[in-house]
């Protein structure tokens, strides 16, 4: 049972394993990505229902541009399809939509759809849904440093908060919980600055098989932890 008072404000998910899921079933990779997109919709709905404030999904990394051209094109078409078919419905239900990453690298038609969704949802007050697209944590930090240089900021004026205001995630809470599926135990250049004090949950389950029930298992695991942010426990047993 989940404790209502300990729901993470911000959950970020590395949705990994679509290709392996398809390969294990003798299916083309596109089928794994399609199933993964369907799973994303289920988890978005579940997060909204339990009161999560912000949900960030690592949908397309900056390194993913190195994949074969036909796979990248297929992923872009799939992204366009789900933006048109699913995400507009989520916005109608009150969600706030946002993206992080080098969005300028995406095809023009997709950029237009994303900008339209961001604008149309800006007045909503529900859960914030953030898609990391063409995103890399190192790239984000470098872009923020360039902004600092361009602004000619004085070294004494540079603080955690002033630097965070230059990141793609400006205005969003730091992630409380980062989930990665597929058995890999690394963060793969995801939210490097923001993850400083996040809790991590790794599961062997491939993303297309990551159901609402397993999502709740991850939350239950999180609720059993004591978050100290570098401090010592209030009570120390000997």
Instruction: Assign 132 to helix, strand or coil.
Output: strand
Sign of CA dihedral 8, 211, 82, 30: positive
Selected catalytic residue, list 16, 18, 139, 176: 16
Backbone angles phi, psi at 169, to 5 degrees: -90, 15
Q: Can 18 be counted among the known catalytic residues? A: no
**Angle at CA 91, nearest 5°, toward 17 and 206?**
10
Question: Which of the following is catalytic: 53, 64, 116, 189?
Answer: 64
How is 154-202 classified by DSSP, letter by letter?
Answer: -GGG--HHHHHTTSTTTTSPPPSEEEE-TT--S-TTSSTTGGGG-EEEE
**Would you call 221 a catalytic residue per the annotation?**
no
Q: Are 197 and 174 in contact (CB under 8 A)?
A: yes
In whole angstroms, give the CA distance from residue 109 to residue 81. Answer: 11
Catalytically active residues, by annotation: 16, 64
């Amino acid at each position: 049972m989940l404790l209502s008072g300990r729901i993470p404000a911000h959950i970020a998910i590395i949705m990994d394993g679509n290709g392996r899921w398809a390969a294990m079933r003798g299916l083309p990779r596109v089928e794994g990505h399609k199933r993964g997109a369907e799973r994303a919709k289920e988890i978005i709905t579940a997060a909204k229902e339990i009161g999560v404030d912000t949900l960030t999904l690592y949908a397309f990394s900056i390194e993913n541009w190195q994949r074969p051209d036909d796979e990248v094109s297929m992923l872009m078409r799939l992204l366009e399809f789900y933006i048109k078919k699913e995400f507009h419905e989520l916005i109608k239900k009150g969600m706030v939509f946002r993206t992080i990453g080098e969005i300028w690298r995406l095809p023009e038609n997709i950029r237009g759809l994303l900008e339209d969704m961001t604008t149309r949802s800006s007045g909503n007050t529900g859960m914030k849904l953030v898609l990391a697209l063409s995103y890399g944590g190192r790239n984000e930090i470098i872009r923020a440093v360039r902004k600092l240089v361009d602004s000619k900021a004085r070294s004494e004026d540079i603080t955690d908060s002033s630097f965070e205001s230059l990141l793609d995630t400006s205005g969003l809470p730091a992630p409380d919980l980062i989930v990665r599926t597929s058995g890999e135990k690394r963060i793969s250049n995801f939210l490097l600055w923001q993850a400083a004090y996040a809790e991590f949950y790794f599961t062997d389950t491939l993303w297309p098989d990551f159901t609402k029930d397993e999502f709740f298992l991850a939350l239950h695991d999180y609720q059993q932890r004591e978050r100290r942010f570098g401090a010592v426990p209030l009570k120390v047993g000997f």
